[in-house]
């Protein structure tokens, strides 16, 4: 397995609020920030942490479906809107559905490795609350093979993972799996309450786990999952800097203000084909293995993980794909408390997609910002302990139904 030919770092992370139902500020009947406002806030949030915007050599922006949610394309040209000093820099827009953000970081890292840049600004953004949920479901269906849309559920992607959940129940048992999914929801909400930018930050539900144990109802939503098993419809942006060692010096950043990218694993699967086994996330497994191999560590060296919990069943399957539990034992791994913030390997310490939110094109960047905050001690009330013998964090960003994967290993310096 190849290793990175030079040091690559991230620093200066910033998240906007993840806005949507659950936030006190959210009112669907009142005007809300638009695409350009989220891009500007996130970009300026990063620039305020560095000496000057003119130091930025390149930028990468990730987004899924602005052309449909916002009737806006050509997002690369919004980068100069952030700051006039960014006029004329090279900008690349990337899209890999819900996995766009992780793809953006990998793209920026390759610019550092190719030595075309020392400092790259990465921004992920999505504004989804411009349409009603049922129309949004149709837009999100573009993350899958759209020719299957007419055969799918009205809420296409929840339907895909409801089908996966049903197969998982049949193979490994329903009762324990449903309990673990409810525990995952509780963990997501309680972690989100510690993060002021999280969509569920204001959630005061006294017993999230009991609420999430409500039975799925196909007449109301879906046969095998409930709304509590689903990630949020969110507006937001996240941004950070990817840089070389020379870039860190130019930014006047010390090593304790940065983390090193030590492994990148990407994997794609044929979007036109159904999964070989609906109870497994095979592409996730390949991407994580590649990232760990490049970093020359094992999954047991990781201190904390940001996992793509688009649905709670996806989190359980991802735990198994990562090798933390045998197939069929992901539920037990969660119920034993291993993924809790004081557990063996804390997951999604600011709430993940279910708790923090899922502004689709921004999610992979948000995951990286969270790992950067945790490894540099900047996570505030959400801070966990990072053991000295496990100085690594892992992100797993999934696009579509386990089709477009980017997994990245970060190391505390």
- Tens digit of each residue's pLDDT (9 = 90 or more) over 84-135: 999 999 999 999 999 999 999 999 999 999 999 999 999 999 999 999 888 8
Least confident stretch, 53-57, 166-170, 218-222, 358-362: 218-222
Average pLDDT over residues 6-24: 97
Residue 154: predicted pLDDT: 79
pLDDT of residue 204: 96
Measured CA to CA, the distance from residue 369 to residue 373 in angstroms comes to: 6
- Read off the pLDDT band of 155 (50, 70, 90): confident
Cα–Cα nearest to 168, from 95, 241, 225: 225
DSSP category for residue 121: E
**pLDDT over threshold 80, residue 1:** no
The DSSP 8-state label assigned to residue 380 in this structure reads G
Bridge partners for 14 per DSSP: 239
Find the mean pLDDT for residues 1-20.
92
pLDDT in tens, 266-311: 999 999 999 999 999 999 999 999 999 999 999 999 999 999 999 9
Residue 206's pLDDT is what? 96
Indicate the pLDDT class of residue 44, thresholds 50, 70 and 90: very high
* Average pLDDT rounded to a whole number, residues 32-51: 98
Percent of the chain with pLDDT over 90: 94
Do the strands 235-243 and 8-15 form a parallel or antiparallel pair, or are they unpaired? antiparallel
pLDDT at residue 5, as a whole number: 86
Residue 11 has pLDDT above 80, yes or no: yes
Categorize the per-residue pLDDT at 3 as very low, low, confident or very high, splitting at 50, 70 and 90: confident
Give percent above pLDDT 70 in the chain: 100
Where residue 149 falls among pLDDT bands split at 50, 70, 90? confident
Question: What is the gyration radius of the CA atoms in the chain, in angstroms?
Answer: 20
- Cα separation, 23 vs 30, in Å, equals 14
Domains and CATH numbers, the chain: 150-231+266-360+384-403 (3.40.47.10)
261, 4 in Cβ contact below 8 A? yes
Average of per-residue pLDDT across 48-75: 98
Label residue 151 by pLDDT band (50, 70, 90): confident
Helix count (H) and strand count (E) of the chain? Answer: 14, 9
**pLDDT value of residue 156:** 87
374 has pLDDT over 80:
yes
- CA 228, CA 21: separation in Å to the nearest integer? 13
- Whether 233 shows a pLDDT value over 60: the answer reads yes
Q: How far apart are CA 271 and CA 103, in angstroms?
A: 17
Q: What is the pLDDT of residue 242?
A: 99
Which pLDDT score, from 0 to 100, does residue 153 have? 77
Mean pLDDT, the chain, whole residue set = 97
pLDDT at res. 77 = 98
Q: What gap in Å lies between CA 36 and CA 81, rounded to an integer?
A: 8
H helices of 6-49, where? 35-47
Give me the mean pLDDT over the 69-82 stretch.
98
């Amino acid at each position: 397995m190849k290793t990175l030919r030079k040091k690559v770092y991230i620093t200066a992370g910033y998240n906007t609020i993840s806005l949507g139902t659950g936030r006190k500020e959210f009112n669907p009947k009142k005007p809300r920030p638009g695409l350009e406002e989220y891009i500007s806030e996130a970009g300026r949030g990063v620039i305020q942490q560095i000496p000057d915007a003119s130091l930025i050599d390149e930028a990468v922006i990730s987004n899924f479906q602005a052309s449909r949610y916002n009737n806006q394309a050509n997002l690369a040209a919004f980068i100069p809107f952030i700051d006039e000093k960014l006029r004329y820099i090279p900008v690349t827009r990337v899209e890999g559905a819900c996995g766009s953000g992780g793809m953006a970081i990998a793209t920026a890292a390759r610019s550092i490795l190719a030595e075309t840049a020392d400092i790259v600004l990465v921004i992920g953004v999505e504004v989804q609350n411009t349409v009603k949920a049922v129309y949004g479901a149709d837009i999100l269906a573009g993350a899958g093979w759209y020719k299957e849309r007419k055969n799918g559920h009205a809420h296409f992607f929840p339907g895909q993972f409801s089908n996966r959940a049903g197969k998982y129940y049949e193979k490994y048992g329903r009762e324990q799996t449903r309990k673990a999914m409810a525990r995952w929801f509780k963990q997501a909400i309680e972690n989100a309450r510690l993060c002021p930018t999280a969509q569920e930050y204001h959630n005061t539900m006294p017993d999230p786990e009991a609420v999430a144990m409500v039975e799925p109802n196909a007449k109301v939503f879906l046969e095998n999952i409930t709304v509590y098993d689903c990630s949020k419809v969110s507006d937001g942006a996240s941004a950070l800097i990817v840089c070389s060692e020379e870039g860190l010096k130019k930014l006047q950043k010390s090593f304790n203000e940065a983390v090193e990218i030590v492994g990148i694993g990407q994997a794609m699967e044929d979007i036109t084909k159904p999964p070989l086994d609906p109870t497994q996330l095979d592409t996730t497994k390949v991407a994580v293995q590649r990232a760990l191999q490049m970093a020359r560590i094992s999954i047991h060296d990781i201190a904390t993980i940001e996992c793509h919990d688009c649905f709670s069943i996806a989190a359980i399957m991802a735990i198994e794909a990562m090798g933390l539990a045998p197939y069929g034992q992901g539920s037990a791994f969660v119920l034993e408390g291993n993924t809790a913030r004081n557990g063996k390997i804390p997951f999604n310490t600011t709430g993940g997609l279910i708790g923090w939110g899922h502004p689709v094109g921004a999610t992979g960047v948000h995951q990286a910002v969270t790992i950067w905050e945790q490894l540099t001690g900047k996570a505030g009330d959400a801070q966990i302990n990072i053991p000295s013998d496990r100085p690594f964090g892992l992100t797993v960003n999934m696009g579509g139904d386990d089709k477009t994967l980017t997994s990245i290993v970060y190391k505390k310096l």
